Structure 1
């Protein structure tokens, strides 16, 4: 099923590729990638494993953050073991934020929890970027 788009308003065509994959040529994704000048999208050596690790880590950070916020907002005298766990899970950024938090004049525990969760999500993105590895040569999407 090989074909080629003939013009701007033509429908995208499916081009058969090896290993049972088919890509869409002439779609808006192809146009956006080529217009931005970023080159082609690649598959990565450890992309799936890195994505799973990052998603699991991000889910753990979000669960701890939400539990901490619920405890902070509903309990009169909160003992935040989940907040301490959030600081530990978001190491090293969490520890830096925790130590520097006394320097902030408007130190609010709810804001601290949100900032720690944001730092954890940033670290989840970094986990994905670092552990995905190099692009697989010749395997452009």
Structure 2
């Protein structure tokens, strides 16, 4: 059995799809994915949709991306903020002019100090959130990795 993704909620996807009366194959066609096999694997939790697919799923099912993610009680980390924006790590790196390796390191909580507001500004802008939100998300990721 695969380890569950800490963010994606496979059961929420299945419920939302069936509530809309769609088959796996129909959902796959509507989001531009070949065949229902992808949707089946996502619902089984063996794979997870990429951020772009997650964004398209939410649009087709007429719901917020947050409803396809596991709930959190402590607030979002950077990866969750990125997923809520429907972005891949590569897209966030490109839009914020921060290296992909830095984005991945930050998402893993591997940072000794929180970057300056000046550095976090472009990240926040790309994600459509405030600098304070990114600062908090980095602190959560760092604290979780300790």
- TM normalised by structure 1 equals 0.23
As a proportion of its length, which structure holds more strand?
1
Whichever of the two has the greater Rg, that structure is 1
Higher relative contact order (CA 8 A, sep 6+): 1
As a proportion of its length, which structure holds more helix?
2
- TM normalised by structure 2 equals 0.23
